[in-house]
């Protein structure tokens, strides 16, 4: 594992803190759902958008850009905030989240200008889109990569497994699936609904190269993302073990925060915790 300078890590941690604050603000002000699943994504998104992805807000249509597909569309508040911090979305646009005459919905709509690569919100679509993009890149002999960000609950959708089979069959080593493995779903614990374990073995048996990491540890995230592809001619899967509601103790691992919106007291408490 390469070591990353302390000040770099600190920079990412500060960004993550600011991201959680902005997500909390957006969700609190608009009474929106999905704060738990947004908080589990934060470190992964920061690492991708501030270190890994080859993208440029001044050229959002660049045909050679890396593609980021948010397959778990309900996590879009986290994506919007990170896109704003990265210069794709301005503050006015961000302020139009989830309101009448608004700009951004609670599930994202494709807008390359805003850095939103695909429309999502129905689960189980993203990986197939990524497979198509990866095939196109291979055909065009381009070396950009396609990152697909998946929720763990959405892996119940059969279409993912169709895409997984095809991706390895076509040796799409430009395709990366990142699983936000927070182990909680809308109605309960994943293991009580349909247990995904052994998840690593499932991806391995579909002929993907797999690494399991702590999805809140920047060193582990960056080391994994900078080692892609893990194997020549194999698509990459990163299983990121995460905590739903990460960063606010009373939200962590609590099913209710899948879609609960904090009240004023909870909002203030959460804010305090994020900055403690």
Partner 1 sequence: MRKAFFEKLKAITKGDKNIFLLAADLGVKFFYEFQNIDNKRFINVGVAEQNMIGMAAGLSMSGKNVYCYSIIPFLIMRTFEQIRIDLCYNNLNVKLLGAGGGVVYGLEGVTHHAIEDIAVMRSLPNMTIVVPGDTVEAEILAEQSVTHQGPLYIRFGRDIEPLVHENKPDFKIGRGIIIREGKDICLIAAGTMLYSAKIICGFLKNKGYNVGLISMHTIKPLDVGLVKKCAKNYSAIFTLEDHNIIGGLGSAVSEVIAESRYGGIFQKIGILDKYTSDIGKPDYLMEKFGLDPKTITDYILKECKNI
Residues of this chain that bind partner 1 (CB under 8 A): 63, 109-110, 117-122, 124-125, 127-137, 139-140, 158-159, 162-163, 165-166
- DSSP label at 111? B
**H-assigned helices in the chain:** 6-30, 35-39, 42-47, 76-85, 91-95, 126-139, 158-169, 190-193, 199-205, 218-225, 264-274
The least CB distance from residue 129 to partner 1, in Å, is 4
* Closer CB to partner 1, 165 or 256, in the complex: 165
Backbone angles phi, psi at 212, to 5 degrees: -110, 130
Query: In whole angstroms, what is the distance from residue 274 CA to residue 182 CA?
Result: 19
The least CB distance from residue 119 to partner 1, in Å, is 5
* Closer CB to partner 1, 51 or 138, in the complex: 138
Per the CB < 8 A criterion, the answer to whether 114 and 101 are in contact is no
The least CB distance from residue 179 to partner 1, in Å, is 18
* Closer CB to partner 1, 114 or 125, in the complex: 125
The least CB distance from residue 23 to partner 1, in Å, is 24
Query: Which of helix, strand or coil describes residue 160?
Result: helix
Structure tokens at 127: 């990986």
Query: In whole angstroms, what is the distance from residue 262 CA to residue 257 CA?
Result: 9
Query: Which of helix, strand or coil describes residue 125?
Result: coil
* Closer CB to partner 1, 162 or 266, in the complex: 162
* Closer CB to partner 1, 132 or 198, in the complex: 132
The least CB distance from residue 201 to partner 1, in Å, is 22
Per the CB < 8 A criterion, the answer to whether 153 and 123 are in contact is yes
The least CB distance from residue 159 to partner 1, in Å, is 4
Query: In whole angstroms, what is the distance from residue 61 CA to residue 39 CA?
Result: 28
* Closer CB to partner 1, 165 or 204, in the complex: 165
The least CB distance from residue 165 to partner 1, in Å, is 7
Backbone angles phi, psi at 67, to 5 degrees: -105, 135
* Closer CB to partner 1, 20 or 145, in the complex: 145
């Amino acid at each position: 594992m390469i070591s990353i300078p302390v000040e770099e890590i600190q920079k990412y941690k500060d960004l993550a803190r600011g991201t959680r604050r902005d997500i909390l603000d957006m969700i609190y002000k608009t009474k929106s759902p999905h704060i738990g699943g947004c908080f589990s994504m934060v470190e992964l998104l920061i690492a991708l958008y501030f270190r890994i992805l080859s993208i440029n807000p001044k050229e959002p249509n660049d045909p050679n850009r890396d593609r980021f597909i948010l397959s778990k569309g309900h996590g879009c508040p986290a994506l919007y905030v990170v896109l704003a911090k990265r210069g794709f979305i301005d503050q006015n646009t961000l302020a139009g989240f989830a309101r009448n005459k608004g700009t951004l919905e609670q599930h994202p709509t494709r807008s390359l200008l805003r850095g939103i690569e695909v429309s999502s919100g129905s689960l189980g679509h993203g990986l197939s889109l990524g497979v198509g993009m990866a095939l196109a890149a291979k055909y065009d002999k381009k070396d950009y990569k396609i990152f697909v960000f998946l929720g763990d609950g959405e892996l119940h959708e059969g279409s993912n497994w169709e895409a997984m089979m095809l991706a390895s069959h076509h040796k799409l080593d430009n395709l990366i699936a990142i699983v936000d493995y927070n182990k909680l779903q809308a109605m309960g614990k994943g293991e009580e609904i349909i247990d995904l374990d052994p998840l690593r073995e499932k991806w391995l048996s579909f002929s993907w190269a797999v690494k399991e990491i702590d999805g809140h540890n920047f060193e582990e995230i960056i080391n994994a993302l900078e080692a892609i592809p893990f194997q020549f001619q194999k698509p990459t899967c990163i299983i990121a073990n995460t905590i739903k509601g990460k960063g606010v103790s009373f939200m962590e691992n609590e099913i209710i925060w899948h879609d609960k919106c904090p009240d004023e007291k909870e909002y203030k408490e959460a804010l305090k915790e994020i900055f403690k």
